[in-house]
A = this chain, B = another copy of it.
Amino acid sequence: MESNNYNDPSVIGGCSVPVRVNRKSKPDPTVVDLRGIRIGSSDIVIIAGPCAVENNEQLSETVKAVKTAGAAMLRGGAFKPRSSPYNFQGLGEEGVRMMRDISRESGLPFVTEVMDTRQVGFVAEYADMLQIGSRNMHNYPLLKEVGMLRKPVLLKRGMMATIEEFLLSAEYILSQGNDQVVLCERGIRTFEPTTRNTLDLSAVPMLKHLSHLPVIVDPSHGTGHRWMVPAMAKAAVAAGCDGLIIEVHYKPEEALCDGHQSLSPEEFSKLMTDLGKVAHAVGREILLPQPSVL
């Protein structure tokens, strides 16, 4: 008879969880607070907005739509990591300022990506949360730099990163003293060509099992198809995530970046209603912006 490893810890694949992110060293879940928006509590936080900041009209129309639909927080890229040097690279510092302005106007906090250690100081002045993108999950100088801030960090899983490596990258941030880290599953690279990435929803229960950090999911990059986003967003909530980050564009067909995976305002509004039902079914609620904010 073969060995029955029913209770064998090695069935977690020999994953070695570093000390600061380890749930064993801090049994209570970490809650990351952004001006009252608490990620990691029982309420699920929806972050929405365009892939990239393009211009004032695009930004204000999109933000108006996602706020009306009930998003608690904004996203919008200014420094864009693009595979080709000839693609739109983002508006840079100007884009960060535009996000700050619309954030103040709407009352919703925002997250934006930082790609270079030299940008960290500037972006940290403006943004509520700094995103480390998938391509920079292994960029250790950048992780150390945001680790020295006292600002929340959204760390996306590298498209090729194991769960162990993902947690080690979070540990780089915590090891510098910053424990305000939110983990984001955004799809991994596999052999399958029909989707942009393979959204690994099993990472949600696994990360919550191994670590005390909040876990959110990006179904937009995770699939690459706008028509798949609702199904996978609902599945992510059912799997136990603490939030979602979703690309919305007021005119997806005119987007400078990732239009094919961005929801229209109508699609996003419909999805918010559906997400509320699934959240309720698993004993949670979608966080609605506070009255004082509205």
Contacts and interface: CB of A to CB of B under 8 A. Distances in A.
A225 interface: yes
Interface string A217-240: 000001111011001101111111
Contacts of A294: none
Number of chain copies forming the complex: 4
Interface string A73-96: 000000001111111100000000
B194 A191 contact: no
Interface in A247-263: 252-257, 259-260
A238 B232 CA distance: 8
A293 interface: no
B160 A140 contact: no
Contact of A231 (B5, B115, B240): B240
B194 A206 contact: yes
Contact of A282 (B119, B171, B172, B234): B234
Given A83-B138, A238-B238, 17 more contacts: A4-B259, A11-B224, A11-B225, A11-B260, A81-B140, A83-B168, A158-B160, A160-B160, A162-B191, A164-B194, A188-B190, A188-B192, A190-B191, A202-B231, A209-B227, A234-B239, A238-B239
13 contacts: A4-B255, A6-B255, A83-B138, A85-B172, A115-B141, A119-B141, A162-B194, A188-B198, A190-B198, A190-B200, A191-B191, A202-B222, A238-B239
Interface of A: 1-2, 4-8, 11-15, 18, 81-88, 115-119, 135-136, 138-142, 144, 158-160, 162-165, 168, 171-172, 175, 188-195, 198-202, 204-206, 209, 222-225, 227-228, 231-232, 234-240, 252-257, 259-260, 274, 277-278, 280-282
